[in-house]
Amino acid sequence: MVKIVVFISVFISVIEAKNIYEYNCIPCHKNMATSLEQMFMSYLSIYSSEDSVKINLKMYLTRPSKRTSVMSNLFIDTYGIKKPTKLNSIELDKSINLYWEKFKVFDKLK
């Protein structure tokens, strides 16, 4: 019985995070020249580790600035700096974790 409850809790958490990510991230990025995956690779190439990527991404999303952006000046001049996220800390963490899981390369390399 405990296993079922844990499974259901994890399943609901994943669905909720997916909905937060799909509803709050994808619509703004779908019409940009740079995909979310390319942005992920920019973060990964600069910050290297999972923790560093997540910390810096969260910092940027909560307090966006040209100085903390990983995007090029041309990209910023074209699209501007985003407005701070309206997601609360828990929703943002769930979204960032899902983003990491979707695009991470470490488990895909052989």
Q: Tell me if 73 is assigned to some domain.
A: yes
Domain of residue 11, residue span: 2-105
Which alpha helices (H) appear in 1-110, and where do they start and end?
2-24, 26-29, 36-47, 50-62, 73-79, 89-103
pLDDT tens digits, 69-91: 999 999 899 888 989 999 999 98
**Domain membership flag for residue 48:** yes
Measured CA to CA, the distance from residue 104 to residue 14 in angstroms comes to: 17
Tell me whether residue 61 is in a domain: yes
Residue 84 domain-assigned (yes or no): yes
Number of domains observed in the structure of the chain: 1
The whole-angstrom separation of Cα 91 and Cα 88 is 5
What tokens does 2 get? 């405990």
With respect to residue 110, please indicate whether it lies within any of the assigned structural domains. no
Residue 13 placed within a domain: yes
pLDDT at 16: 57
Q: Is residue 62 part of a domain?
A: yes
- pLDDT, one tens digit per residue, over 90-103 is 989 988 998 998 88
Which tops the pLDDT comparison, 91 or 27? 91
